[in-house]
Homo-oligomer: A and B are copies of this chain.
Amino acid sequence: MSQQTNKTQGKLYAIGTGPGASDLITVRGARILGELDILYAPAGKKNAPSLAHTIVTPYLTAKTTVKTYHFLMKAPREAKEAVWDDVAQRILEDVAEGKKVGFITLGDTMLFSTWVSLLERIGNQPWLEIIPGVTSFAAIASRASLPLAMENQSLVVMPCTASPEALEQAIVNHECIVLMKVYGRLQQVRDLLRRHSLFEHAILMSDATLENEQCWRRLDEIDDEQTLPYFSTILINKTRK
């Protein structure tokens, strides 16, 4: 590679936006967002800005070109992979042209995040910096004053898409349990918590740290699944009521 090529090498920043409130992003994330040439942001429904895009908007300047893409959440594997391939390729081209490129992802960059699918394609590069973010469950614990693990306790983070056996095992074995991806699976999770008499130790929070945040301390009081927002998480701490 010639020296000139080295000089024009761009950079890629994968940035965790945090849970929802714009000021729960890191100082580093906010600063870098203000310096980007190009930002890759997920597109929201009906072409409205996505939550991740909305979170970072206060930090963007006119110099940044925002490129939105539709990440297919419920599509077949091949369709998802085609999007990841395409976005990874476009990012690689932008970086090769010397651009400062950002990619944003909700919560933390490395936990249940689209970014990891891009990382698999892009690889660990010297021009890549990954910036962590506050996870949704840490924000929920703070908002609800419900501690996560303490001292010798353990914390398990499970998606409700895991097998019923794995979910049950986790709930039995650990003091503190975070259940993510609750949307569409509330009934089965409630049945599980009822069997283990965990209602009094559980809360459900939706849209944590946003204006429309909701918190239920009685999971049996939620009418039906139709009312449950998409970003809903259950937190259980057996040592608290």
Residues of A participating in the B interface, judged by any CB pair closer than 8 Å: 14, 16, 18-19, 21-28, 30-31, 108-113, 116, 119, 124, 128, 130-135, 138-139, 141-143, 145-159, 161-163, 166, 169-170, 173-174
Contacts and interface: CB of A to CB of B under 8 A. Distances in A.
A170 B153 CA distance: 12
Instruction: Specify how many copies of this chain sit in the oligomer.
Output: 2
Contact of A109 (B26, B110, B142, B151): B142
B145 A124 contact: yes
Find the residue from A23, A124, A142 having the highest chain B CB count within 10 A. Answer: A142
Contacts of A159: 149, 151-154
A-B interface, 5 closest residue pairs, ranked by CB to CB distance from nearest: A110-B141, A130-B142, A23-B28, A23-B27, A132-B138
A25 B146 CA distance: 21
18 contacts: A14-B142, A16-B138, A18-B26, A23-B27, A24-B132, A111-B138, A111-B141, A111-B155, A112-B150, A113-B147, A116-B147, A130-B145, A132-B134, A133-B138, A134-B134, A149-B159, A152-B162, A154-B162
